[in-house]
Amino acid sequence: MINHLEKDMVSRKALYEALYEHFHDEDAPNNITEVRLGAVRNFVKNFPSVTPTQNWIPVSERYPKIEDEYKYFLVTDDKGKISIQEFLISLGAEPQPYFSGMVNVIAWQPLPQPYIAESEE
């Protein structure tokens, strides 16, 4: 069973501020305070970010692989519209990759994993 706190995410800024309050000592000499805070800064910057990253892949770089497990992808066009579209390869003398239902796709990314409810044990 996963502990609720293990899945809870905090920002690096909030962690740094909390540790700053804990380690900051106004009575300590400045050099000791700076060493402590420098160590806190280094400690915090090694934590993973909770800010979602955008993993857009430009179609000019590559298209999804046909072997990919999923055929549906999040795509964006040259006007900034975002949609979920199926990735296909046209049939013909020169097969061309394309996303169904949207023209001028400039980038794509895999869909996130499906939601899985936590069991209450």
Does residue 12 surpass a pLDDT of 50? Answer: yes
Q: What is the pLDDT of residues 56-108, one digit of tens each?
A: 999 999 999 877 666 899 999 999 999 999 999 888 888 889 999 899 999 99
pTM: 0.53
E strands, the chain, are 57-58, 72-77, 82-89, 97-99, 105-110
Q: What's the pLDDT at 6?
A: 56
- Burial of residue 73 (CB within 10 Å: 0-12, 13-18, 19+) is buried
Q: What's the pLDDT at 112?
A: 83
